[in-house]
A and B are shown apart, each in its own frame.
Chain A
Amino acid sequence: MRVGEIVTAGFLALLSLYLMWKSTELPVGYIAGQGPGGGAWPFWLSGIMLICCGFTALNWWRENTPASRSDEPLLDAYGWKMLLFVGGGIIGFVALVSIISMYGAIAVFLFYYMWFLGRHSLWLSLLIALVTPIAMFFFFEGAMRITMPSGLPFTDPVFNVLYDIIY
């Protein structure tokens, strides 16, 4: 935790510096007759962020915060595994949206989570993974008239059948 805290503060300080630099694309000072320039608000706020990172580093050095005194790892084996499988699963889910459609990605993600991570039975996992996206299709496309991403053209035949039902 101790190393993680200072690394995080360092990363956030770099982010603050980048935001300050980016803000200077617009005037950051006071323009007579116009008021503060367009970049002033984010520039000075990013400056305060940078100062806060400095104070966090100082607190870390003085061991004032629980994280700076902790010898425990940031995440134990379970935590890293959870982050890899759950966080990775979410990233995979979003990546699949543009390939197999939002509803297809929902089905795959639910099946992956319940069957592989949750160790539920194959039938229960399949049932929930299929019923949920179909129900969501009728809610979003039928009731709310919101079109979700339909993926690559190979998904068209499935969507044609579903659209025939709601239109």
Chain B
Amino acid sequence: MEVLSLLADGMLLSLQPLNLMMILIGVTVGLFIGAMPGLGSVNGVAILLPVTFLVPPGSAIIFLAAIYYGAMYGGAISSITLGIPGASTAVATTFDGRPLARQGKASLALVTAALASFVGGTIANILFTLFAPVLATVALSFGPPEVFALMLLAFATFVGLGGDDIPKTVFSICFGLVLGAVGFDQISGAPRLVLFDYNGFLQGIGFLVLAIGVYGIGEMLWTIEQTRGEVKTTTPKMTAKGMAADTKEATKRGWKGTMIGSFLGFFVGILPAAGATPGSLMSYGVAKMLSRKPEEFGKGHPDGVAAPEAANNSASTGSMLPMLTLGIPGSPTTAILLGGMVIWGLVPGPRLFVDETEFVWGLIGSFYISNLAAVLMNLAFIPVFIWMLRMPFTILAPMIFVLSIAGGYAATRDMFDIWLMVGFGLGAFFLRKFDYPLAPAVLAIVLGPIAEPTLRQSLLLSSGDPSIFFTRPVAGPITIIALILIFLPAIKLLRRKRNTQKKPA
């Protein structure tokens, strides 16, 4: 009952005029960002984080969370009408969304996506409300070894479950952690890693500099190079009568995919390396596997749209759970949200539920309101978003570059950081060409300043004995799971080699 009372207070807080305005603007911006090919929630949150310093922290994070929500809804619009996923989270939506659009059923696909997103978001919000306070209470007893073990687990999931090239993933994690160590040693206060003895590095490298460089500049260069401006739009005919019929059909033929996506997406979203993209792809696969007519998938089955769309919304809420309760982001977007919270003077983690109750429950309440606002605005303004999708990329791209650079300067007030941002952007473009995953580096630069002190404090507690991470009741199992995940790819490789050696014999 206490949870319900806190949730009601949180909802009332999120309905205050400023917060409600932030939700509506955030959802609208998010829908647009999600719909634009090449832009996802992570780009939107990274680019717009600096402009949130105008409002109090509570309203700022509500705004950014609303962008996150809106982007999850918006991704489906371009997947269906353009055949190009607005973001990686909507890749699976193209599998059946685009065939439906080609059959003249774009309206059905869009309505299915919106309804599935709403149901997915609502189920995830309920699960979040039930799990978050319990997890935060357990996490309150964590000491430095437990916190470090959790950090290790966050990085290990990238290695074990990420699916990218392992040496390149580990390189990316370590590079982000080293970048986070530039500036001063947190314990002795001595200057550290002042690269090329340039004084600009004394102030450290902010996560925002790396995040905007990678997602604002690097990804835009990548998108310009990949798409070459060749996009064809399918314009759906949206009428009130037609939408009512589509709602009926979407409910009848998309409920199974919606349920699968809602639950699977939430639990995949909680995993630190996973997030909405693998959540939506896995849900699509499971929905196809459990379908009575799997052969219809890929040819325009509403379940094939509902499962990934429900999952990406559900996963986005799921990824907020470890961020708020444990201080570990569940996705690149939540890594940036976490960095923003640190800038605003809030410390994500279990203490947040004790020290900043109003903030936490205001944010959770805003999830429900944002979800409702997103589905209504999505359905009401689909024609407007499709019209906006026709905006030439040669107008949108320079605007994004300008926002990245001006926004970056507003946050750091240092031209050196802007040069670094451009450098990271160009570097990210080339690294991406060679399949270096960049999300782990962004996650690592955020978590590095938390991970290093906890490692050093733990080793100081144990007089340098690393067994402290194995012998404590909570840290032990987490460390062992993390190590299993780290070595999982090597074990898989060895088994594969053994199997291929056995076959010729």
Contacts and interface: CB of A to CB of B under 8 A. Distances in A.
Interface of A: 1, 4-5, 8, 12, 19, 22-23, 25-26, 30, 32, 34-36, 38-39, 41-42, 45-46, 48-49, 52-53, 55-56, 59, 65-67, 74-75, 78-79, 82-83, 86-87, 90-91, 93-94, 97-98, 102, 106, 109-110, 113-114, 117-120, 128, 132, 136, 139-140, 143-144, 146, 148-149
Nearest to B433: A74
B185 A26 contact: yes
A118 B392 contact: yes
Secondary structure at chain A's binding surface: helix, strand, loop or mixed? helix
A35 B457 contact: yes
Contacts of B221: 82-83, 86-87
A46 B53 contact: no
5 contacts: A1-B433, A41-B455, A93-B405, A114-B398, A132-B402
Contact of B192 (A35, A39, A102): A39
Q: Which of B192, B394, B406 has the most CB of A within 10 A?
A: B406
B274 to A, nearest CB: 22
A16 to B, nearest CB: 8
Interface string B139-175: 0000000000000000000000000011110110011
A75 B225 contact: yes
Sorted nearest first, the 10 A-B pairs with minimum C-beta distance are A118-B394, A38-B185, A113-B398, A55-B167, A35-B460, A52-B171, A52-B167, A42-B181, A45-B174, A49-B174
A120 B395 contact: yes
B406 A148 contact: yes
Contacts of B422: 90-91, 94
B402 A45 contact: no
A53 B430 CA distance: 16
Q: Which of A19, A65, A75 has the most CB of B within 10 A?
A: A19
Contact of B228 (A56, A67, A78, A90): A78
Contact of A66 (B178, B185, B435): B435
Contact of A5 (B166, B171, B174, B434): B434
B428 to A, nearest CB: 12
B389 interface: no
A38 B188 contact: yes
Contacts of A132: 399, 402
Interface of B: 51, 53-54, 165-168, 170-171, 174-175, 177-178, 181, 185, 187-188, 190, 192-195, 217, 221, 224-225, 228, 392, 394-395, 397-399, 401-402, 405-406, 409-410, 413, 415, 418-419, 422, 425-426, 429-431, 433-435, 452, 455-457, 459-460, 463-464
A4 B224 CA distance: 21
A128 B181 CA distance: 41
A14 to B, nearest CB: 13
A59 B165 contact: yes
Contacts, number: 166
B165 to A, nearest CB: 6
Contact of A114 (B181, B395, B457, B464): B395
Contacts of B419: 94
Contacts of B433: 1, 4, 67, 74-75
Contacts of B175: 49
A49 B178 contact: yes
Contact of A45 (B177, B190, B192, B435): B177
A136 B402 CA distance: 10
Contacts of B410: 140, 144, 146, 148
Contacts of B435: 65-67
Contact of B434 (A4, A26, A48, A114): A4
Contacts of B425: 90
Contacts of A48: 170, 174
A97 B418 contact: yes
A144 B201 CA distance: 27
B167 A59 contact: yes
B415 A97 contact: yes
A38 B395 contact: no
A22 B434 contact: no
Contacts of A19: 178, 193
B212 to A, nearest CB: 12
A138 B238 CA distance: 38
A102 B409 contact: yes
B2 to A, nearest CB: 39
A71 B373 CA distance: 49
Contacts of B165: 56, 59, 65
Contacts of B459: 30, 35-36
Contact of B53 (A12, A35, A66, A144): A144
Contact of B394 (A12, A34, A113): A113
Q: Which of A66, A74, A98, A146 has the most CB of B within 10 A?
A: A146
Contacts of A65: 165, 435
B193 A82 contact: no
B437 to A, nearest CB: 12
Q: Which of B168, B171, B429 has the most CB of A within 10 A?
A: B171
A94 B228 CA distance: 25
Contacts of B195: 22
A74 B435 CA distance: 12
Given A42-B177, A42-B193, A46-B174, 19 more contacts: A22-B193, A22-B194, A25-B192, A26-B188, A26-B190, A36-B455, A38-B188, A41-B181, A45-B177, A82-B224, A82-B225, A98-B415, A109-B398, A109-B401, A110-B398, A120-B395, A143-B54, A144-B51, A146-B410
